């Protein structure tokens, strides 16, 4: 089902394209016959002109009609009142294929790319690079904050690359966190693969995205999450975060070190997400191949015991590299997140509402930083960075 409606733009409420993104948030007077309503919509400015008051637009209103909390806004599908011609780019790889919004991008792997030779040579490996993999997009800014906090003893700042999968939002411009992290200079670069688009580098799949992070962006450490939005069905395998296991396997196949960010909560009222979410347990038990670093926060006795029982029942003790990381005081968490000027929430809950969630992210970040010290000492990495 797709629901279409038309309307007229009244004014731009948040011109994100002027902040380094590729979106506008606008208010639209809907064409509803005798009943006039003004509703919010989002418009992509990557291939379409920016909207102005008075523009007539065609809107996809399906998400709002379904009362979705994630993605529950209208999306501008077409501008009906002006031409939308664009100059043809150099790329030949199509994203959003066989839809009315298919677009050509210059993928790093294709022959016309300046990076083509990197993917046709023999050095198709990550050489031990640590890769943090998270299910939820909110894990990205939190992980970056913690990595920066833990990085105070190193001579050079850690080069962090971000890879966005196509498991959630497809345009990277839809992430206000990515816009802010880039504005702060906390990310070395961004990569989008599959049908996700808009990163500094475009790639065809997860394997080449990881190689691009290593060999094009020269990342010390890479973080991979889907964009905003996720899907769950209360079934064993029916959730979009299952891709975490597939990404971990890709990292292992390329001789990198996968580190899974656990999804932990003691504030979520749903039994399946209490303690360690069944999503994380399913990923580590049934999808990820052995050898993943599974970092867990060493919480207080009652909650810590709950995590240990869940891990034992899932049979994870001997399958993966289980690491218990000492959790910090709430104040240390506050200091790390305070450096970031935007609020970070997961499922609508911030640090004080769900400290265990943030403890899980910090545990994985600490494990990644520890892993990184050994990675940076490898001769191939020193030569590469010095070069």
Domain ranges of the chain: 4-79, 122-386
Nearest partner of 296 among 318, 266, 324, judged by Cα: 324
pLDDT in tens, 240-251: 999 999 999 999
Nearest partner of 193 among 142, 127, 246, 124, judged by Cα: 246
How high is the pLDDT of residue 23?
A: 85
The list of the chain residues with pLDDT below 70 reads: 14-21, 33-34, 69-71, 84-89, 153-155, 374-387
How high is the pLDDT of residue 73?
A: 86
Q: What would the two tokens of residue 101 be?
A: 């919004």
Q: What would the two tokens of residue 276 be?
A: 């360690």
How high is the pLDDT of residue 387?
A: 38
Sheet of strand 257-260, all strands in order from the earlier edge strand to the far edge? 201-203, 189-193, 160-165, 221-226, 130-133, 257-260, 293-298, 321-326
How high is the pLDDT of residue 290?
A: 96
Residues in the chain: 387
How high is the pLDDT of residue 18?
A: 47
For the domain made up of 4-79, give the CATH fold: OB fold (Dihydrolipoamide Acetyltransferase, E2P) (2.40.50)
SS3 content of the chain, % helix, strand, coil (to 5): 35, 25, 45
Please state which of the four CATH numbers 1.20.120, 3.30.70, 1.10.20, 3.40.50 is assigned to the domain occupying 122-386: 3.40.50
Cα–Cα distance measured from residue 137 to residue 110, given in angstroms and rounded to the nearest whole number: 28
Nearest partner of 23 among 165, 139, 170, judged by Cα: 170
pLDDT in tens, 136-146: 999 999 999 99
Cα–Cα distance measured from residue 107 to residue 114, given in angstroms and rounded to the nearest whole number: 10
3-class secondary-structure state, position 224: strand
How high is the pLDDT of residue 382?
A: 47
Q: What would the two tokens of residue 184 be?
A: 């702060």
């Amino acid at each position: 089902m797709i629901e279409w409606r038309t309307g007229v733009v009244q004014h731009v409420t948040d011109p994100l394209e002027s902040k380094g993104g590729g979106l506008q948030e606008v208010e639209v007077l809907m064409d509803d016959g005798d009943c006039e309503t003004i509703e919010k919509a989002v418009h992509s400015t990557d291939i379409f002109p920016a909207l102005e008051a008075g523009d007539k637009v065609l809107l996809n209103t399906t998400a709002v009609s379904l009362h979705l909390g994630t993605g529950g806004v209208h999306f501008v599908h077409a501008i009906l009142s002006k031409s939308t011609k664009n100059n043809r780019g150099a790329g030949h790889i199509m994203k959003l294929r066989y839809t009315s919004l298919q677009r050509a991008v210059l993928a790093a792997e294709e022959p016309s790319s300046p990076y083509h030779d990197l993917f046709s040579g023999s050095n198709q490996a990550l050489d031990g690079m640590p890769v943090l993999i998270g299910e939820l997009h909110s894990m990205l800014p939190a992980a970056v904050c913690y990595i920066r906090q833990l990085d105070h003893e190193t001579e050079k700042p850690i080069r962090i690359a971000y890879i966005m999968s196509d498991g959630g939002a497809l345009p990277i411009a839809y992430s206000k966190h990515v816009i802010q992290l880039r504005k702060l200079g906390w990310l070395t670069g961004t990569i989008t693969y599959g049908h996700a688009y808009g990163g500094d580098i475009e790639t065809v799949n997860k394997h080449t995205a990881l190689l691009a992070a290593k060999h094009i962006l020269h990342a010390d450490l890479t973080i991979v999450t889907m964009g905003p939005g996720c899907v769950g069905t209360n079934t064993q395998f029916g959730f979009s975060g299952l891709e975490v296991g597939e990404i971990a396997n890709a990292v292992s196949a390329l001789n990198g070190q996968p580190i899974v960010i656990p999804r932990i909560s003691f504030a979520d009222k749903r039994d399946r997400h209490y303690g360690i979410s069944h999503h994380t347990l399913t990923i580590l038990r049934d999808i990820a191949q052995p050898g993943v670093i599974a970092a867990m926060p060493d919480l207080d006795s009652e909650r810590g015991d709950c995590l240990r029982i869940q891990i034992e029942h899932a049979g994870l003790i001997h399958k993966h590299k289980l690491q218990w990381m000492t959790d910090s005081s709430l104040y240390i968490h506050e200091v790390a997140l305070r450096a970031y000027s935007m609020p970070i929430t997961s499922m609508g809950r911030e640090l004080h509402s769900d400290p265990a969630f943030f403890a899980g992210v910090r545990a994985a970040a600490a494990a990644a930083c520890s892993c990184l010290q050994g990675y940076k000492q490898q001769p191939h990495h020193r030569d590469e960075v010095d070069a």
